[in-house]
Structure 1
Amino acid sequence: MPSRRELLLGVGAASTAAVAGCLGSRTDEPGTDDDYAWTTVGADLRNSRTISDGAAPRDDPDVEWSVDLESGMATGEPIVTDDTVLVNTGRDVVAFDRETRERRWSINPENEPYSYYGSPTVFDDTAYVPERETLTARNLETGEVDWSFDLERIISNSSLTVTDTDDGRVYVAGGNTVHALDAESGEELWEQELLGIASYVIAKYADWLFVATRGGELYRINRWEGRIEWRRTIEAGISSAPIVLTSSDRRVGHGVAVAGGDGSVTYFDLSGKREWRTELHAFGNDGLAIGHRTVFARSGSTLYALDANDGDERWRVDVGRSSRNPPIIVGDTVYVGGDRLRAFDVGGGYGIRSLRIGGKRFERERTGDVNYVTAADGRLFVTTDVGRFEGDDTAELLVFS
């Protein structure tokens, strides 16, 4: 029979282990890959917003170069290839040469005020560009038009295009209709009407598309035929693009998560069964990412880290006033904009919920708010937001390294 001292030592060891688990520890390693691109909204077809083994600045970075966007804000995240950065300035969609920093081409040099929303998708040296009520395929080098497809309604807040090597198709939603087009010719292959206006980038996984409407409808659509396989309703509306979680993100199973207009995050399995729902606070626009088995949710002035298995809160941190700035994950670091650019350890440092130390890697203040953040080749591509009526100030594209 163990002695009293042995029992106390055992209890103490167990308590220490429990506290250590609660406080958390940093087990994720920095990324090592500095040869990657950000060619579509959300980084990949499932909208993870993650470069899992990517390298990016983890300490206070320097501005390597910047360009004037000649606008008050960007209305889509920077899309980055080996030699090109594409930015929707609201007034124009501009292709910048990464080596010379010069404007290579744009779709509307006359800059009609605030006409465009969303970001292009690049595939096989073609940029598929949302141009109000038209999806246009342009040569990435020259900007020349290969084909265009007219829609009945405006392409909404986020880019709604996906291309894929499996089927050579482009998927685009304008108004309440999703279209599948041949990526090479622009020929329409099918269309499917929705109950509501599609407002976010489409997620693709296996044989399915996941499409969300701002009014609160989440669809699973067969990508080959356009057939609706199920529809689920978030009563408070949907305020993010759907993101697909795979078995690498969870202990078991695949599914899709969306943010609700009431400050909730809901996860459905692939059959449409709701597995968990977590209440947070009011959401900004398009504020979810998935990486390191954690769902990161931007909710107002707070960044939450949720367990991907059950939605339980792991940690949270104040990130200042809200803007259009969903988080991204590169390697072991989460980046998010707002009143400045901030970077955090994906594990949140040590502590309990918001009472933590060691989680912040850096913060960088800049003239105007930080709008979108993406990453490529070990660098961060950041747009600022000075608003539409801030005198002579204009937004910038900043490249940090």
Structure 2
Amino acid sequence: MPSRRDVLFGIGAVGTAAVAGCLGGPSADPGSLESYTWTTSGADRRNSRAIPDGTAPRDEPTVDWRVEFGSPVATDEPIVTDDTVLVAVGTDVVAFDRETADRRWSIDPENDAYMYRSSPTVFDGTAYVPEVTSLTARDLETGEIDWSHEFDTTIGQGSLLVSDGGENGRVFAAGGNYVHALDAETGDHLWEQELFGTARYSLAKYTDYLYVATSGGELYAITRWGAVEWRRTVEAGITSAPIALSSSDGDAGPGVAVAGGDGSITYFGMGGAREWQTELGGFGDDGLAIAHRTLLARSGSTLHALDPNDGSGRWRVDLGRGSNNPPIVVGDTVYLGGDKLRAIDIDGGIGIRSLRVGEQRFEHDEDDAVSFVTAADGKLFATTNVERFGDESAELVVLS
């Protein structure tokens, strides 16, 4: 990390006027919301990966509890409700009690043939669980099945979204080259829309539009009734979930951003127009978050902060090691895994481009690499991955 003297020398060399636009975006508050949950992949329907008003550890955290999975890997992010943590652990999907850390229920404890790649999403006391080729609605408390719907193909990783509840509730799920809509209460199949390519990553929804990315580099905007509003091609392929930006995220207005296989970020307006594209270099899967009018993108070993209005860079921080783990934002802090659990000031500290001081709030070491991180009620919920051969198990670690 450069010293303060080095940074100040660099600032003086380029002049005050040049520095004015390089110190970061609008200053963010630490957050005051102490009661919140993380009930769906990406934190919300927009896939923002952010709780902008939330609180979370800003200094070196303490470990409240940890529990082993009995598996070397977690395949998707922890989902956290008031009293339950649900984690896809490869061979199973497990519900842990938040207070005791006990296993409350799981869907397939004897499994040795299938890989469960997607986290559930929770709405109104029901856990909607992707179970290889079926979507199952389970009671959150007991795990008992309310209904189950079988598809012809495997459900894509992270591609589950619940919109509203009651008689107008919808569950959107992508599998193979189709996206489906089911009635959230009954499981009745409402419609399906064929895609050009296999659906990948989490879905995003804003107003009446559902955004779906495919392995062929196609980005779809689909209405809640199943009609394709528009389809755009990212020539280098898409390597992140779509993230829907609202009008409060920037002056460019509502739209959707995706990362490309060539290290680019592309932003499309609500009507499908390509508003801007910026080049970052190598890119890790599923690495976007939006909060405080700042778009965060993880690109290999670097965390970039971008202006969502035009894609220009505000600051960047070297993380020391490449990883595919996506960032999240809680309050004024960016959290992300890798060789360590890191907390970064969303303003990027002080400095120019990658020459910065004061950007890092803490680094937390685990015996194994930290993969996914989510947050709830002022705590961080992180999973680890075993990176060596043997009988070791990955863990769920809760920090405050």
Normalised by the length of structure 1, the TM-score is 0.93
Q: Is the 8 A contact 1:320 1:338 kept in 2?
A: no
- Aligned-partner SS, 1:189: strand
Unaligned runs of 5+ in 1: 1-11
Please give the per-residue CA displacement for 1:19-43, whole angstroms capped at 9, x wherever unaligned. 3443348722101101000000000
Q: Is the 8 A contact 1:245 1:254 kept in 2?
A: yes
CA positional deviation for 1:252: 4.0
Within 5 Å, give how 1:50-69 maps onto structure 2. Answer: 50-69=50-69
Question: What is the alpha-carbon distance in structure 1 between the residues aligned to residue 30 and residue 352 of structure 2?
Answer: 23
**Which residue identity is paired with 1:63?**
V
CA positional deviation for 1:320: 2.9
**Which residue identity is paired with 1:194?**
L
Question: What is the alpha-carbon distance in structure 2 between the residues aligned to residue 220 and residue 352 of structure 1?
Answer: 37
> Is 106-115 or 274-283 further displaced after alignment?
106-115
Superposed CA RMSD: 1.6
> Is 213-222 or 161-170 further displaced after alignment?
161-170
CA positional deviation for 1:214: 1.9
Question: What is the alpha-carbon distance in structure 1 between the residues aligned to residue 25 and residue 91 of structure 2?
Answer: 45
Question: What is the alpha-carbon distance in structure 1 between the residues aligned to residue 137 and residue 322 of structure 2?
Answer: 33
Normalised by the length of structure 2, the TM-score is 0.94
Unaligned runs of 5+ in 2: 1-11
**Counterpart check, 1:399 vs 2:398:** yes
Compare CA radii of gyration and give the structure with the larger one: 1
CA positional deviation for 1:393: 1.6
Question: What is the alpha-carbon distance in structure 1 between the residues aligned to residue 148 and residue 98 of structure 2?
Answer: 26
**Counterpart check, 1:281 vs 2:276:** no
**Which residue identity is paired with 2:104?**
R
Q: Is the 8 A contact 1:370 1:383 kept in 2?
A: yes
Q: Is the 8 A contact 1:265 1:279 kept in 2?
A: yes
Please give the per-residue CA displacement for 1:136-170, whole angstroms capped at 9, x wherever unaligned. 00000000011111111111222423332493110
> Is 284-293 or 119-128 further displaced after alignment?
284-293
Q: Is the 8 A contact 2:77 2:87 kept in 1?
A: yes
Aligned to 2:7: none
**Which residue identity is paired with 1:355?**
L
Aligned to 2:220: 219
Q: Is the 8 A contact 1:37 1:82 kept in 2?
A: yes
Q: Is the 8 A contact 1:181 1:187 kept in 2?
A: yes
Aligned to 1:49: 49
Question: What is the alpha-carbon distance in structure 2 between the residues aligned to residue 26 and residue 222 of structure 1?
Answer: 33
Aligned to 1:351: 351
Within 5 Å, give how 1:260-279 maps onto structure 2. Answer: 260-279=260-279
Q: Is the 8 A contact 2:249 2:294 kept in 1?
A: yes
Question: What is the alpha-carbon distance in structure 2 between the residues aligned to residue 61 and residue 250 of structure 1?
Answer: 32
Aligned to 1:171: 172
**Which residue identity is paired with 1:212?**
A
Within 5 Å, give how 1:9-48 maps onto structure 2. Answer: 16=16, 19-24=19-24, 27-48=27-48
Please give the per-residue CA displacement for 1:278-328, whole angstroms capped at 9, x wherever unaligned. 111222111110111111111111111111100001111111323341000
- Aligned-partner SS, 2:22: helix
**Counterpart check, 1:239 vs 2:254:** no
CA positional deviation for 1:111: 3.4
Q: Is the 8 A contact 2:22 2:315 kept in 1?
A: no
Within 5 Å, give how 1:178-197 maps onto structure 2. Answer: 178-197=179-198
- Aligned-partner SS, 1:157: strand
Aligned to 1:87: 87
Question: What is the alpha-carbon distance in structure 1 between the residues aligned to residue 327 and residue 272 of structure 2?
Answer: 26
Aligned to 2:147: 147
CA positional deviation for 1:398: 0.2
**Counterpart check, 1:119 vs 2:101:** no
CA positional deviation for 1:113: 5.1
- Aligned-partner SS, 2:158: coil
